[in-house]
Amino acid sequence: MENVAMQSPKTGEKKLKRLTKGKKIVLSTIYYVCGTLLAVLFLFPLVYMLSTSTKSESSYASDAGTLMMFLPDFQNLKSAADNYGKVFTEYGIWRYAVNSFIYAAVIIVLNVIVNGLAGYVMAKFDFPGKGFFSFVILFLIVVPVETSIIPLYSIVKILLRLKGTMSVLAVILPSTISVFNIFLFMQFFESIPKEYEEAARIDGAGSLLIFFSIILPLSKPIVATVATFCFIGTWNDYLWPTMVLPYAENGAWPLYPIQSAITSIQSIQGITTGEIMAALIVTSVPIFIVYVVAQKYIMQGFGTAGLKM
């Protein structure tokens, strides 16, 4: 009886461990099954877009309403070549893509420098009114961007008189300042130990030298995060560039970004659904590549910045 009594607690612990292990297996199974189903559900539009871009108009019409609409047309690859060929040659979407890449590159560099310096000042310096400016930054984050479009348009068109080719600056300058990026930089910089700065100041380094030689190299995750958001925002921007950029005359190089090209292409008479989907695929691939490459740094940046939130 004593042996049975002594073994009972151990037997109970084993049963409890088995139940806990079984519960974890069930929960993990439910988690992965639900995650897979959601992933497949969200991928359906992309699969449909990719498959339609490989089809002619007649093939698209015959497959509509069936499961074949989600499968590429492997039997007639000439249709896919024609769709993508027209998008690049006849419709000249590559010109608009070049514009978007240039806009994005300039905006990323300016965002990292300007917003990075602002975040560095807010995180590492004490000055009168610092609490007020912190409150203003948090307040402006929740203000919709649409509320500032009309005043901003008046500034760039009436006050600065940015017209013609100078309208390119009307696209770049307003995108240089981002209170959300300032907030991200500020939160990340607060997690960097002050000992790095103190050691640099002992060696005679100034604030700007410390920022560019020490702070930024230690901030690759948040820099990659800000760069990714800037690229995606610039690449997907449509409303503001359409408002401030002039329409290109015949033969002139267009100034519109790629999203404006998509709208123009869709309005062309005689364009097929496959060609429209091919254009959408072309605009989606760069975002996908950038996000996949920077995903690791984005998670690190948000994880580190969130420690101070």
| CA distance readout (Å), 50 to 70, 216, 248, 276, 284 | 8, 39, 30, 11, 10
> Do 35 and 139 reside in the same domain of the chain?
no
pLDDT of residue 18: 66
pLDDT at 267: 78
Distances (CA, A) of 185 to 92, 220, 273: 38, 11, 43
In a domain, 5, yes or no: no
Identify whether 9 is part of a domain. no
Domain boundary among 54, 81, 108: 81
Identify whether residues 40 and 136 lie together within a single domain: no
Q: Are residues 116 and 195 in the same domain?
A: yes
Are the C-beta atoms of residues 70 and 49 closer than 8 Å to each other? Answer: no
**36 assigned to some structural domain:** yes
Give the DSSP H/E element, type plus range, for residue 4.
helix 2-52
Q: Which of 48, 81, 114 is where one domain is finished? A: 81
C-alpha 42/C-alpha 62 separation (Å) is: 24
- What pLDDT score does 17 carry? 63
Rounded-to-integer distance, Cα 214 and Cα 224, Å: 16
CB atoms within 10 A of CB 123: 18
Of the residues 81, 103, 124, which one is the last residue of a structural domain? 81
Query: Which residues of the chain fall below pLDDT 70?
Result: 1-19, 300-309
Domain of residue 171 covers 91-308
Together in a domain, 186 and 288: yes
pTM of the predicted model as reported, rounded to 2 decimal places? 0.82
Q: Do 183 and 45 have their domain in common?
A: no
Residues 254 and 275 in one domain: yes
Per the structure, the count of domains in the chain is 2
Do 75 and 95 have their domain in common?
no
**Residue length of the chain:** 309
Other beta carbons within 10 angstroms of residue 242's beta carbon come to 14
Same domain, residue pair 184 and 281? yes
- 8 A C-beta contact, residue 219 and residue 253: no
Q: Check residue 254 and report its DSSP letter.
A: P
Say which amino acid occupies 83. N
Which single residue is written with the structure tokens 């940015």? 162
Provide the CATH number for the domain around residue 233: 1.10.3720.10
One-letter identity of residue 20: T
Q: What is the identity of the amino acid at 31?
A: Y
CA 225 – CA 185 distance, rounded (Å): 10
- Residue in the structure block whose two tokens are 């580190």: 304
